[in-house]
Amino acid sequence: MSLLVQKFGGTSVGDADRIRAVADHIARTRRNGDDVVVVVSAMGKTTDDLLRLAGDVSQAQPPRELDMLLTAGERVSMALLVMALADQGVDAVSFTGSQAGIITDSTHTKAKIVEVRGDRLRDAMQADRVPVVAGFQGVSVERDITTLGRGGSDTTAVALAAALGADVCEIYTDVSGVFSADPRIVPEARRLGRVSFEEMLDIAASGGRVLALRSVEFARNHRVPLHVRSSFTWEPGTWIVEEDAAMEQAVVTAVTHDTSEAKVTVTGVPDRPGIAATLFRALADRHVNVDTIVQNVSAHGATDISFTVPRDDLAHSLDVAGALLPEIGAAEVQSDDDIAKVSLVGAGMRTHPGVSATMFETLAAHDINIEMISTSAIRISCVVRAGRVEEAVRALHQAFELGP
Ligand code: ASP
Ligand code: MG
């Protein structure tokens, strides 16, 4: 008998039929003799709809109230799912994030989990009931309702799996796993059978939208095996596990792309110690997640610094940088939101030189200009014009022979 955490994303519980299908699957899991803790997202596009509504009534949108609003979405799904389970003869009980004991810091709209208590979930399981938990939410140390950032239900699921010592955390979604590229752009993209936590981290960080980045970090740190699979076909999907010698070590595992970032450039920055520190500390204090950073060689003692930020953070990144201009003695702040990032990820890159060269040659052959480059041990990313990114993904997928 295993303990499974099963998380169902928005499309998996998108309407009444889908909710009944999910209830049926949970009932079958129980009949197999496994224990299960369920985590649900808000139905379909509910979170987007609620955000739009907030935008229609308010410019200010106090973050505390935004969180209060958005958490309603997951409440709807959890209650409906428990009702559908009742019809299947499964004794289940719903819990908000707060009731489940998911304690977070106080950073509204992107809170971090600091502790998972889970007592009520353990009690429910003791009583042979299936806990159904609202994803994406918690309660802060100051007792306010918080959310974990978009896609946060994945993080809820992994955090619960870690806290409860689950054997696996199953992430049910509308795709059948993690692919060698986005199948909507590259039809011959392959489903990957097994991916290491490290690779998945870089895939998620560079635009692979299947799993929220934070959830992968959590899974790696707590060694929770993840299984990403479809709630439409119910077939086995992609396992995300610890890297082991038996794993097929492709040089490149996947091509990812990200169109959600924008570029900020601060020009005429004096070239002296402490300037970058001042700028990026100020951005960090405003919780902006800066990605690729490029600083040019200085000419006449001044240089340009460019960096990318999530497009949602562009406006206040520009405010932060703009406000610092006098202090750091820079000339001006420019922005460009017509960029995209294309990346190659693969654990084999550690030991195979030449991957960047082939990547750059491939882009050059397509006359795609590279504007920024960044690398990690197992990833190379290039920022290009947004309009060219799909062509870049297809070209790289072919150049590295990632198809079947
Ligand atoms: N409902 C939230 C969102 O749309 C959380 C999630 O689906 O994981 O971002
Ligand atoms: Mg989601």
- Whole-angstrom distance, CA of residue 136 vs CA of residue 66: 13
Q: How far is the CA of 43 from the centre of ligand 1 (A)?
A: 9
pLDDT at res. 74: 98
- Whole-angstrom distance, CA of residue 355 vs CA of residue 67: 43
- Whole-angstrom distance, CA of residue 178 vs CA of residue 207: 12
DSSP designation for 44? T
Q: Work out the number of other CB atoms within 10 angstroms of the CB of residue 175.
A: 20
Please name which ligand lies nearest the alpha carbon of 51: 1
Could you give the 3-state DSSP secondary structure of residue 311?
helix
CA 355 to chain centre: 26
Q: Closest by alpha carbon to 50, among 68, 24, 27, 30? A: 68
pLDDT band at 103 (very low <50, low <70, confident <90, very high): very high
- Can you give the pTM of this predicted structure? 0.90
| Pocket test residue of 41, 51, 133 for ligand 1, highest count of atoms within 8 A of CB | 41
Fill in the amino acid letter for 248.
E
- Whole-angstrom distance, CA of residue 169 vs CA of residue 4: 6
pLDDT at res. 24: 98
Residue 321, token pair as written in the block? 């940088």
Q: Work out the number of other CB atoms within 10 angstroms of the CB of residue 314.
A: 19
What domains, with CATH codes, occur in the chain?
3-174 (3.40.1160.10)
| Pocket test residue of 12, 153, 172, 209 for ligand 1, highest count of atoms within 8 A of CB | 153
111, 138 contact by CB (below 8 A): yes
Convert the pLDDT of each residue in 330-363 to its tens digit. 999 999 999 999 999 999 898 888 999 999 999 9
* CB 172 near ligand 1, within 6 Å: no
pLDDT at res. 248: 63
